[in-house]
Amino acid sequence: MATKKAPVTKKAGTSPKATASPKTSTNKKVSTTKKAPASKRVTESSIRKRAEEIYMKRIAEGIPGDADSDWQQAEQELRKK
C-alpha cells in the first residue's frame, strides 16, 4: 500500500523569483563612448569662425589655398584642443 507524502509547504517570503540570482550591474549594457561636455564640443559655428581666421591670415600673407582646406584645418585644430 502506498504511503501519503506530507504536503510541501512554502516558507514565508520565498518565491521562485526570490531564489533566482539577482540581476547585477554587469548585466547592463554600458556605453563606452562619452560625449564631450557642451563647452568642449566643436560646433559648425566655431569651425566657420576659425576657418575665416585662417582664410584672412592666408590672404594677408599671400599663401595659396582654398575654402575647403581652410575648413579642414580649422576642424582639425579645434578637435585637437
Tens-digit pLDDT profile for residues 31-76: 666 666 666 789 999 999 999 999 999 999 999 999 999 999 999 9
As to burial, measured by CB atoms within 10 angstroms (0-12 exposed, 13-18 middle, 19+ buried), residue 40 is exposed
* Cα gap 8→65, rounded to integer Å: 86
pTM reported for the whole predicted model = 0.53
Boundaries of every domain in the chain = 38-81
The pLDDT of residue 81: 79
Q: What is the mean pLDDT of residues 15-28?
A: 56
Weakest mean pLDDT among 12-16, 18-22, 29-33, 66-70:
18-22
Contact criterion met (CB below 8 Å) for 71 and 46: no
